[in-house]
Every structure is written in C-alpha cells, then in structure tokens.
Amino acid sequence: MAKIINIIKGTKDILPQDVEQWHILESKALEIFSKYGYKEIRTPIFEATELFARGVGDTTDIVNKEMYTFEKSERSLTLRPENTAGVVRSFIENGMARLSAPVKLWYKGPMFRYERPQAGRQRQFHQVGVEMFGIKNAAADAEVILLAVNYLKSLGLCDLEVELNSLGCPTCREAYKSKIKEVLKPEFDNLCEDCQSRYEKNPLRLLDCKVESCKEIFAKPEIQKVIQSDFICEECAAHFEELKSYLDKLNVKYTINKLLVRGLDYYNRTVFEIKSNNLGSQNAVCGGGRYDSLVRNLGGEDTPAVGWAMGMERLNSLLPVPEPELLDGYIVSTSPADAFELAENLRTLGLKIEFDLANKKFTKQLEKASKVAKYALILGEDEIKSGTVSVKNLSTGEQVAVAKNKIAETLK
C-alpha cells in the first residue's frame, strides 16, 4: 500500500458531521449583518507582504513571527493573517471612498498564522468580521458593538460582557506612552523579554502582557496610578462619553478596562472585547476597535473606520452541536428503476430524498430509512400496480397510502 500523506500540523478538516455548525455561523452572519446594511466582500487569501507589514504593524507578533510568507516571481507574498488590511486595500483600490458613507462590509474565511501549537490555536483558522468606513462619530462604534452583541445572541450565546477602553488619538496617546515608559523605567530589567523589546516602539502593548511577573509589576500602586489616569484629550473624551451614552441608551452593559489595548498597532480611540460566559468559563469571542489612520497609511484618503473580528473555531467550541439533519424521505423499493424515477420527481419538488443504490434487501432498506430519514416511502409491487406509495412516519410508525402526485404535499 502507498504511504499515507497526513494533514499539516495546525490545520484541521471540517468534516461533514461538523459542517452544519459552520453553516449556522455563516447563515446567521448573513441574516443579522444585512439587517444593518452590511455587504459581504471576499478578498484574496494572499496579498503583498508589505500590505500586512504596513497595515497590521511591524511591531506586532503577527508580522514579526507568525506570517506565512513566500516568494513567487521575485515578489514577497503572504497568506493573510487577518482580513482588515485586505479589506482596506480593496476599499482604496476600488474607489469605495467615493461611495456615500458609511460603507459597511463584512467577511468570513480562513486566516493563517504560524503560532506555537501548544497554545491550542490552529495555524489555519477562520474569522468572521465587519468593517465600517467613513463615519467618525461614536454612533458608528456603538452600532458595530451592538451588531456584534446581536450576532452572538442570535447564535445562542448569552451572558455576554463588553469591555471598553479608549486609546486616545496619536496626540494624547504620545504623552501617555511617555508616562508609561517613565514609570516602568526602574522596572525595565524585571520585565519579560517581549515587554523589553516592545518598551521603546510600542509601550502600550506591555499592558496586556500575560506573564505573571509583569502583571505583578503593573499592579504596583505607582504604576496603576498612571495606567488608571485619564490621559485622553477633550475631543477623545467626548467621543468616548458619546459612545457610552449610546450603549447606555441601548441597554448594552459594559465595563471599562484600562488594560485593554488589543494586539494590533492600528487602533485609536475605541477598543473593545466581548467575553462570553457560556459553558462556564469566560472566553473572549470578539475584538475590535476604531482605526482612523489605517486607510491613509495604506495610501488612501483620510477615512475613519471601525470594525471587529471573531474567531469562528472559538464560537463553534461554545455552541451546542446541532442534531444531524434528516432526509425528508428514503425510498424503500424492490424496483430500483421506479425508486430512481420517484426520487428524481420528489427532488425536483424541493424534497431531500435518497434511495438504495446497492440493491439491498427490503428489510435492510427499511433499517437504513429509519436512521437517515423522517419518512420511509415504500414502493412495493402492490404500490407500483396501484400508482401509490406507502408513506411511513418513522417517528410515530403511522403508515398511509398516498397517491404518487400527492407525496410532496403529504411530506411537507
């Protein structure tokens, strides 16, 4: 026998018995997002490497350590590690800035990051997300948060917690960054390696470090005083207040988390995460924020934007496994040709029908029907002569003779 070729580490088959759950995530996305006026966009899985270096930020782990980058025809290409950069590229390239604002886009699909396997993460994973372009008002931030909450609720995830923070604008954030650096300077040698390397370029990222010894340092009163201080300027503060008042009005509960900075470089003002307490443990299921300078950084006109992404594997892990879908009918017959003809007729009428293709015995066919279908459609010699079918309800055992042209009605 030939040698078996195995699946690549960090990737996973989505098998037929699991795909129904994915269909639910996708169809609910289409249903809920279109209520808010979002249109789906599908961008390529690979893009110029530079797009992510500039779009995601070259101080992030994603760009520094996790990208799948390869050369082809002397161009450096990268499998997308996230989709905001690609959507922004498409927004610019297709002149969507000329459309009347807001432009609301959503996407779903696979992303690729070379992450350590012990983190339990997959290297090919899936995200669903939204991006809204053209609105700087906090109403936009409130709407995308509400959209996320409603999508999660539609999937049956309850017990949601929204965490909010404002990172300010480049102006007010600079002063905050220097304060953070200043207060952490005496502790520099005690910080973890990652924190030390981020200290100069991206000191805010230190705040979401998960290393225990770093967390202890940040908990010191003199450092907490700086972290908890209100550093944002008047305009940023007004924006944040406006967002909070919308959420209050719409009964979206939230907490302010000053340590929430998100892993990406491009956010300004609003950042948020949504956590779910489904199945007992708390899990972050959604992360997003405002990125008003990204379109300009990628060569477009100044365009405010706000959006979020959710990991679909994580969502699936929190949802109950749906019951497998049954066929409407399974034809049990001693005449394959007649069964074939009846199956095709009923399929044309919109029913899900199968019949025995393997010439199995009548009793075996009936056994199969009881496993895969709601009704057994019995087409024996008597039925063929009289132009009827015996329709057996497989959950109640009830059986009735039905004229061939009335079967669809009966099953529906």
Binding site for Zn ion (CB under 5 A): 168-169, 172, 192, 195, 209, 211, 214, 233, 236
Least CB distance to Zn ion at residue 195 (A): 3
Q: Which is nearer to Zn ion, 148 or 217 (CB)?
A: 217
Q: Which is nearer to Zn ion, 209 or 378 (CB)?
A: 209
Q: Which is nearer to Zn ion, 129 or 168 (CB)?
A: 168
Least CB distance to Zn ion at residue 198 (A): 8
Least CB distance to Zn ion at residue 371 (A): 55
Q: Which is nearer to Zn ion, 139 or 238 (CB)?
A: 238
Q: Which is nearer to Zn ion, 235 or 367 (CB)?
A: 235
Could you give the CA distance from residue 386 to residue 189 in angstroms, rounded to a whole number?
Answer: 90
- C-alpha pair distances (Å), 351 with each of 337, 340, 342, 389: 19, 14, 11, 16
Which residues, in sequence order, are CB contacts of 84 under 8 Å at separation 6+? 55, 56, 129, 131, 266, 291, 294, 307, 309
Q: Which is nearer to Zn ion, 208 or 341 (CB)?
A: 208
Least CB distance to Zn ion at residue 225 (A): 20
Q: Which is nearer to Zn ion, 97 or 237 (CB)?
A: 237
Least CB distance to Zn ion at residue 173 (A): 7
Q: Which is nearer to Zn ion, 209 or 411 (CB)?
A: 209
Least CB distance to Zn ion at residue 268 (A): 8
Q: Are 291 and 169 in contact (CB under 8 A)?
A: no
- C-alpha pair distances (Å), 366 with each of 318, 384, 401: 37, 17, 17
Least CB distance to Zn ion at residue 211 (A): 4
Least CB distance to Zn ion at residue 215 (A): 8
Least CB distance to Zn ion at residue 193 (A): 8
Q: Which is nearer to Zn ion, 180 or 339 (CB)?
A: 180
